[in-house]
Chains A and B, each alone.
Chain A
Amino acid sequence: MQATRDFSHYVRDAGAGLQHIDLAVEGVSCAGCMSKIERGLSAIPDVTLARVNLTDRRVALEWKEGALDPGRFIDRLAELGYKAYPFETESAEAAEADQSRFLLRCLGVAAFATMNVMMLSIPVWSGNAGDMIPVQRDFFHWLSALIALPAAAYAGQPFFRSALQVLRTRNVNMDVPISIGVMLALGMSVVETVNHAEHTYFDAAIMLLTFLLVGRYLDQSMRRRTRAVAGNLAALKAETVTKFVGADEIAQVPVAAINPGDIVLLRPGERCAIDGTVIEGRSEIDQSLITGETLYATAEHGTAVYAGSLNISGTLRVRVSAASEGTLLAEITRLLDNALQARSRYVRLADRASRLYAPVVHATALLTMLGWVLMGASWHDAIVTAVAVLIITCPCALGLAIPTVQTVASGAMFRAGVLLNSGDSIERLADVDHVIFDKTGTLTLPDLEVMNASEIPEDVLGLAGQLALASHHPVAASVARAANAKSPLAGAVEEPGQGVRGHVGGAEVRLGRPSFCGAEQLANDSLRLDPEASIVAFSFGDAKYVFSVRQGLRPDAKTMISALLKRRIAVEILSGDREPAVRAAARELGISEWRAGVTPADKIARIEDLKSQGFRVMMVGDGLNDAPSLAAAYVSMSPISAAHLSQATADLVFLGKPLAPVIAAIDFSRKALHLMRQNLWLAVGYNLLAVPIAISGVVTPLIAAAAMSGSSLLVMLNALRARRVAHGDA
């Protein structure tokens, strides 16, 4: 019954007659899982490598070429109790991995240099007070230079590059004062060494780089981890399509292997995984994930269908189209492009701080030099003092103040089920005071749900569920889910367009349209109560029941809305669905602001309107029609079930059924922003204490080193507080 699975798209040639595949695995969380999987897979003959990566939750497999079918590994993992699917490394993720390895290499070099320069500096510091002779001191200074200069040239690359880049655009970021400080400190130290002077700052410069690289690396590895998890989730959706490989021959292939022009088969109850045009067949399709409209649309020859549409009744043949070919998609792409261009250039807190900081520091250094010259000091002494000011103020703590908080906060958000797409989203999320929700798929769940399951006797529900398993219809599937049915009823027959029927102990059972079961009266009563629901009827002999089926609200939607309101955040619904459906949802959730039948362009207009009133708007949406407004909003969020385009556009993605991650994300980011500001003030406060000492010219390298590590440790420890938020009424 199942078409052949074709995973050849994911298989790589590993050389030496071996083939390689990477699988994303769900639920690997402990050492036990790791050895269970590795042993289970190694036991298959001809497997030469099976290695679990517990950080990325993946398995790398290699086997002798042609000996095995990759599908077998997935089956074996399923037997072991793990869901797995082939995984293809995206170029973005590969780039992140390279970058993180480069940073680690820089960190290694900088840490090595710091330790060795310190080994040479400490004798100088203690010797200066005691009995070290100048020749020995010079010798140690030269050795320090020998270590520090090449190490700084290598390990400083991330900062120098970023500083150059930003200077070319005539801007400043934190890397500019860092680069200037490091280069001046090293340059002056070389000059001082040549002149047999007492103080050099090789240790301070290289230690600064080490501390900053720690911050950079933490930041990077958090981002990489998020990306890996997002990649796994995408892979585990295991989106496959049924493709025609011959006139009447079909194969189950992964979506990644589909090209424009391919013909695919879309059966009832299947969710479409591609964009395309119907070339044969007739059916009803549910496009609620794309347009928000919960009423079914008719699909026939020439109708455009989009990834995420659910096929309800008939079988369709669809020709895959190239991206953005369809009219709806083209319109959305156009709006999205406009919105992305207009996306206000948000200036990160760190960059705002450095725009203020860099000129002040450099001006202070200049004034210090001029001041000393005016007071009669030699140019040499004046310059040395000025450079000492720059070294003392070199923004070690400032450079760490924000990345450390971001790392800790994004780790906490990750545990709460929120993934960050963009680094500055924490800062923006913290300012939000108006949240716009899309209804379909965001406030509600994408799957249909039986709303009155608790009113139906349990044995009846169980029987209906067994019968429902015989049908592909999505509404029937929701009944089967509600009943938690496992085995289908033997001998059940599906009557297309009507329902399914079977026999239990001599009595006939039917599930389907109310007319098919003779339950029109009951159905009408039920529809009067809930006009938005689809009704599926069930008859068992003479007893008749109706199930009222529709997309249910997320389980905690109501408490989450009131939690938002309690935080003085205004809430609003903008939906593409019809008015009665939106009104019902708004009333149930206690939201007074709502608009129905809204087009993507209208959504953007509403967001712009709110923006001009000074609101910081967060858009939470999932449909393809939400993508432009996600880009237009100040900050945006999508559930993991959202359309690809929307997920890629949103700043944050949340996992799972509950809406709680939305509140958690707001709470964590508010706390994080508070800590970032606090850290910046700590760093500034340190400077206020240290700078007068530097200006007065009494700073020694020992004081510089102690002050720098002290302030860095202080902001790092403060950042750890971002792990927890006060659990009020979330």
Chain B
Amino acid sequence: MEVLVILVPLALGLGLVGLLGFLWSLKSGQYDDLEGAAWRAIQDDEPARETPSE
């Protein structure tokens, strides 16, 4: 049962990482346009710019 000492904090730590990830994604505006995000995923890549940026 000593394995709990490792497993429980590990599980909680992973959960916490998930939560922090969620809060970060929220802060960086990733939930502002859910409809658009769904479509962007399947959009074709933008063609390379004709004039190379300096």
Contact = CB atoms under 8 A, between A and B. Distances in A.
A247 interface: no
A53 B34 CA distance: 9
A119 B36 contact: no
A373 B1 CA distance: 41
Given A34-B43, A116-B11, 7 more contacts: A31-B40, A53-B33, A101-B26, A105-B26, A119-B11, A143-B12, A147-B12
Contacts of B42: 31
Contacts of A119: 11
A120 B11 CA distance: 10
Interface of A: 30-31, 34-35, 39, 52-56, 101, 104-105, 108-109, 112, 115-116, 119-120, 136, 139, 143, 147
B10 to A, nearest CB: 11
B33 A56 contact: yes
Given A53-B33, A54-B33, A108 B22 contact: yes
A contacts with B: majority SS = helix
Contacts of B33: 53-56
Contact of A112 (B4, B18, B34): B18
B8 interface: yes
A109 B35 CA distance: 24
A119 B10 CA distance: 12
B34 to A, nearest CB: 6
A55 B1 contact: no
A55 B32 contact: yes
A116 B31 CA distance: 24
A434 to B, nearest CB: 39
A30 B35 CA distance: 9
B19 A108 contact: yes
Contacts of B22: 108, 112
30 contacts: A31-B40, A31-B42, A34-B36, A34-B39, A34-B43, A35-B44, A52-B36, A53-B33, A54-B33, A54-B35, A54-B36, A54-B39, A55-B33, A55-B34, A56-B33, A101-B26, A104-B31, A105-B23, A105-B26, A108-B19, A109-B19, A112-B15, A112-B16, A112-B19, A116-B11, A120-B8, A136-B1, A139-B4, A143-B8, A147-B12
B11 A31 contact: no
Contacts of A35: 43-44, 46
Contact of A31 (B8, B15, B43): B43
B36 to A, nearest CB: 3
Interface of B: 1, 4, 8, 11-12, 15-16, 18-19, 22-23, 26, 31-36, 39-40, 42-44, 46
A136 B4 CA distance: 10
Contacts of A139: 4
Contacts, number: 55
Nearest to A28: B36
Contacts of B34: 55
A62 B44 CA distance: 23
Contacts of A112: 15-16, 18-19, 22
B35 A55 contact: yes
Contacts of A31: 39-40, 42-43
Nearest to B39: A31
Contacts of B40: 31, 34
Nearest to B36: A54
A108 B26 contact: yes
A376 B24 CA distance: 54
B13 to A, nearest CB: 10
A414 B48 CA distance: 40
A37 to B, nearest CB: 11
Contacts of A34: 36, 39-40, 43
Contacts of B4: 136, 139
A109 B16 CA distance: 10
A390 to B, nearest CB: 28
Contacts of B44: 35
Nearest to A54: B36
A147 B19 CA distance: 12
A116 B23 contact: no
Contacts of A55: 32-36
Nearest to A140: B8
